[in-house]
Amino acid sequence: MTTTPTLYRPESGKLLHLPGCTHLTDTDPTTLVLAQDGDRDRYAICKSCQPEIDGSAPREWFDSLDVALGALPMPLENRPRCKELAAGIAYDRIYIPSSHQYVAIGTVKGVLAYFSVGVVDLQPSGGPKSRELFPNYAGPTTGTRGKTHAEMDETVCPVHNEVLPATGVCDYCT
């Protein structure tokens, strides 16, 4: 029996994601839109999630949360909080997807918590979703950019009206 996985997309997003996908790390979980019938025809599936969905990159199953957290590139100082949160959850399944984006814990009915490098997403059965950021979470590691020309602090030579180089000395004044 094949089950259709639960997929989400950000409100203005054009890709469908599995819960726990790192592309959703900086998205408020209360703003995620649950995929409906026909959404798979309207929206593409995230390239990180697709291999897990089609089975070409299976999950790695664990008997111990400690061992699973050790297999994830997570800072050691975050692990005690993960274990503390997991202690309040009744789960019997622990896995890491092939993408190694997170550790998931849950039951046969579904995932109840996702532990990623800097974020924990809790999805209790019948309860509200919540997110906790670890104190050392530095934000997303992708999609960063430098300043645009308009954002740069440009000092102009008062004599030649030219933008000063990094030295702060006008090329024409020397």
Segment among 42-46, 49-53, 126-130 with least mean pLDDT: 126-130
Same domain for 74 and 129?
Answer: yes
Task: Identify whether 65 is part of a domain.
Answer: yes
Q: With the CA atoms of 140, 144, 147 and 149 taken in that order, what torsion angle do they form, in degrees rounded to the nearest 10? A: -140
Judge contact between 114 and 104, C-beta under 8 A: yes
Q: Measured between alpha carbons, how far is 99 from 105 in angstroms, rounded to an integer?
A: 16
Task: Identify whether 141 is part of a domain.
Answer: no
**Counted domains in the chain:** 2
Which residues are registered as beta bridge partners of 45? 16
pTM over 0.85: no
Task: Name the residue range of residue 119's domain.
Answer: 8-133
Q: What is the pLDDT of residues 116-127, one digit of tens each?
A: 888 898 987 666
Q: What is the pLDDT of residues 11-30, one digit of tens each?
A: 888 999 887 776 876 777 77
Which residues are registered as beta bridge partners of 103? 115
Q: Where are the beta strands (DSSP E) in the chain?
A: 8-9, 15-16, 33-34, 44-45, 60-62, 93-96, 103-107, 110-115, 119-122, 130-133
The conformational region for residue 157 under phi > 0 = left, psi -120 to 50 = alpha, else beta, is: beta
Q: Measured between alpha carbons, how far is 127 from 36 in angstroms, rounded to an integer?
A: 20
Same domain for 127 and 150?
Answer: no
Same domain for 127 and 151?
Answer: no
- Counting residues of the chain whose pLDDT is more than 90, the rounded percentage is 25
